[in-house]
Each structure stands twice: as C-alpha cells, then as structure tokens.
C-alpha cells in the first residue's frame, strides 16, 4: 500500500518524537529502578544499632583523666595563692587593731588591707575563669574525639544508629536526680550485646598520644 508524501512525513516525525521521549525517559526509569533495588536491599537488610554510655567513656578516658590532674594542680595553686592573700589581710588587720588611737600609720594599714583584698578577689576570679576555660576546652576536645571514634566504629561495623545510654539509678538521697534522668535519658533499656562502650573506650585511649600518656 502506498502512503502519501504527507502521511509518510508525519510517521517519520512521530517516530522521531517517540525516540526522543524514550531517550529522555529511559535514564529516569533506570535510576528509579536502581533506587527501587537499593530500597529493596535496605529493606531486606537487618537494621543495626548500638548504645554508648558517654559518662562511662568520659570516666575511663585517659585524656580526660589527664585534664582532671591538670585541673587539680591549678586548684592547688589557686588554694595556696589565695591563702597567702588571706594571711596578708589577717596580719594587716591585726596590725591595725594594735595601733594606738589616732596613729598616723592607720591610714596606710587600711589602704594595705584594701589592696590585699582587691588582689585576693582578682586572683580568685582569675583562677575561676582559667579553670572554667580549661574544662570547656577539654570537654570539647574529648567529645570531638569520642564522636569521631563512634562514627568510625559505626562505619566499620555497619551500624545504622548509635544512641546514648546512661545510668538510670536514682539515689535515695538525691530524688531530684529523677527529673534530670527523665529529661535526658535516650535509652531506657538495651541488651548488653548492643553496648559498644568498651570498644569506644579502647579506641579512644589508643588514639591518645603515648608521649602525653607517659609524661
């Protein structure tokens, strides 16, 4: 059967549109199919999770233990320094009390007391600020390392989710702890097999430089 020239041209154009449509739609269909296969694979894979006791990790961290020792040394320095100012103030006050009424040295003694008290307050505030800054910096460093260790462990062991656990025991002497526990608890129960705290502690301490441990 012969086709008219107009009909033949129309069919050629229609086929061209069809192939263009296939060229446009096929990659999307392939991608959707691939995503569907990945979704099916994920759906068939067992969801894996773990829990970590961050309080326990921090307690057993060698890096945090070193920070605690450094803070203790600074607190001891603070105590000795402030005791020196306190003794100075006591001596000046005793000297002032022992002066006869109207003694010309009284004004100088009072100025000395004021100066010693000012130095005491400045030293105390300075130590407090230094200790606070040390604690914030140490916590930031340690928790960054903890998060890095947990992420690496999760990737290496194919974990999908890692949750924070904590001790849920409430002390009879401090019932106010219950409110804090309720507000902060993320995991109320988990089997021991889900707990990776020991592995995190081991990896965290292994990262801590030997030259710092042995100093």
Residues 23 and 58 both lie in one domain: no
Above 80 in pLDDT, residue 154? Answer: yes
Q: What phi and psi, each to the nearest 5 degrees, are found at residue 172?
A: -60, -25
pLDDT, mean of residues 180-206: 87
Most confident range (mean pLDDT) of 1-10, 50-59, 162-171 is 50-59
132/186 same-domain check: yes
Percent of the chain beyond pLDDT 70? 70
Same domain, 34 and 57: no
**Backbone CA torsion sign across 106, 110, 111, 115:** positive
Judged by average pLDDT, the poorest of 33-37, 75-79, 87-91 is 33-37
- The SS3 assignment for 172 reads coil
The pLDDT score that the predictor gives to residue 90 is: 92
Say if residue 192 is in the same domain as residue 115.
yes
- 26 and 117 share a domain? no
Q: What is the pLDDT of residue 163?
A: 93
195-215 residue pLDDT tens: 999 999 999 999 988 545 554
Separation between Cα atoms, residue 75 and residue 128, nearest integer Å: 9
Q: Which residue has the higher pLDDT, 9 or 112?
A: 112
Domain carrying residue 38: 1-45
* Tokens of residue 130, six digits: 């230094």
pLDDT score of 1 more than 60: no
* 192-195-197-203 Cα dihedral, nearest 10 degrees: 120
pLDDT reading at 70 higher than 50: yes
32 and 57 co-located in one domain? no
Band (pLDDT 50/70/90 cuts) for residue 28 is very low
- Paired with 164 in beta bridges are 52
- pTM of the model as a whole: 0.65
In this structure, the answer to whether residues 23 and 93 fall within a common structural domain is no
Q: Crossing angle of helices 62-98/197-207, nearest 10°?
A: 70
> So what's the pLDDT on residue 19?
40
- Domain count within the chain: 2
Q: What angle do CA 203, 55, 199 make, to 5 degrees?
A: 25
Q: What is the pLDDT of residue 42?
A: 57
Task: Tell me the mean pLDDT in the region 142-157.
Answer: 94
Q: Say yes or no: 68 and 6 in one domain.
A: no
Q: What is the DSSP string of 178-209?
A: HHHHHHH-S-S---GGGB-HHHHHHHHHHHS-
Q: Is residue 65 domain-shared with residue 126, that is, in the same domain?
A: yes
* CA 32 remoteness from chain centre: 39
Residues 38 and 66 in one domain: no
Asked if residue 64 has pLDDT above 90, the reply is yes
33 and 13 together in one domain:
yes
203 and 101 both lie in a single domain? yes
**pLDDT score for 12:** 46
């Amino acid at each position: 059967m012969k086709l008219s020239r107009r009909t033949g041209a129309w069919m050629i154009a229609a086929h061209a549109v069809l192939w263009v449509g296939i060229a446009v739609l096929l990659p999307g269909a392939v991608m959707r199919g691939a995503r569907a296969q990945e979704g099916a694979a994920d759906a068939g894979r067992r969801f894996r999770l773990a829990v970590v006791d961050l309080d326990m990790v921090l307690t057993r961290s060698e890096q945090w233990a070193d920070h605690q020792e450094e803070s203790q040394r600074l607190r001891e320095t603070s105590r000795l320094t402030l005791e020196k100012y306190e003794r100075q103030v006591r001596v000046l006050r005793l000297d002032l009390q022992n002066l006869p009424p109207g003694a010309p040295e009284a004004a100088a003694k009072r100025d000395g007391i004021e100066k010693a008290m000012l130095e005491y307050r400045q030293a105390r505030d300075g130590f407090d600020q230094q200790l606070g800054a040390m604690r914030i910096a140490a916590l930031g460093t340690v928790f960054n390392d903890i998060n890095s260790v947990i992420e690496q462990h999760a990737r290496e062991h194919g974990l999908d989710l890692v949750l924070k656990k904590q001790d849920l025991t409430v002390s009879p002497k401090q019932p106010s702890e219950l409110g804090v526990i309720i507000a902060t608890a993320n995991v109320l129960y988990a089997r021991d097999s889900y707990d990776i705290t020991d592995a995190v502690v081991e990896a965290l301490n292994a990262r801590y430089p030997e030259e710092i441990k042995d100093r």
